[in-house]
Amino acid sequence: MLAVFTQGGDSARRMSRLRSKIPLLAFTPEPVVRSQAALSWGVETFLTPTVKHTDEMVRQVDQAMLADHRLERGDVAVVVAGSPPGIPGSTNALRVHRLGDATDGVAPAYRDSGEPGDIEH
């Protein structure tokens, strides 16, 4: 599973163009971008709160995937984002994340990152 965090939508469009065989999920804080991204090939969209740290992004991925039992703890997700978050056009990071690590708080940074709010699918 590949999760892309996008503010303007370009990153989601670029990932969609690759026609990957693995599921592509786009997370955005912008309702309009969410609607546009949903029209791109193979993209499933999630509306998320704006975050300040990439650790909060992976927490959102954990919440979205584990709540629906879409994936299991220990499954691996690839997360593409801009680090630090909040600057459109700054996508520059790829992280391999083990699902559950953020919501389980396996590292101190995850325990500090708090509740990001609701994710709307």
Ligand X SMILES: Nc1ncnc2c1ncn2[C@@H]1O[C@H](COP(=O)(O)OP(=O)(O)OP(=O)(O)O)[C@@H](O)[C@H]1O
Residues found near ligand CC(=O)C(=O)O in the complex (CB under 6 A):
54, 57-58, 79, 81, 83, 93, 95
Min dist CB 81 to ligand X, Å, is 4
The count of residues interacting with ligand X (CB under 6 A) is 22
Q: Which of 63, 85, 102, 103 binds ligand X (CB under 6 A)?
A: 85
Q: Specify the residue, 66 or 79, whose C-beta has the smaller distance to ligand CC(=O)C(=O)O.
A: 79
Q: Taking Cα atoms as reference points, which of 78, 30, 115, 58 lies closest to residue 38?
A: 30
CA torsion sign for 118, 61, 104, 95 is negative
* Smallest distance, ligand X to C-beta of residue 95, A: 11
Which residues make up the interface to ligand X (CB under 6 A)?
A: 5-11, 27-29, 48, 50-51, 81-82, 85-91
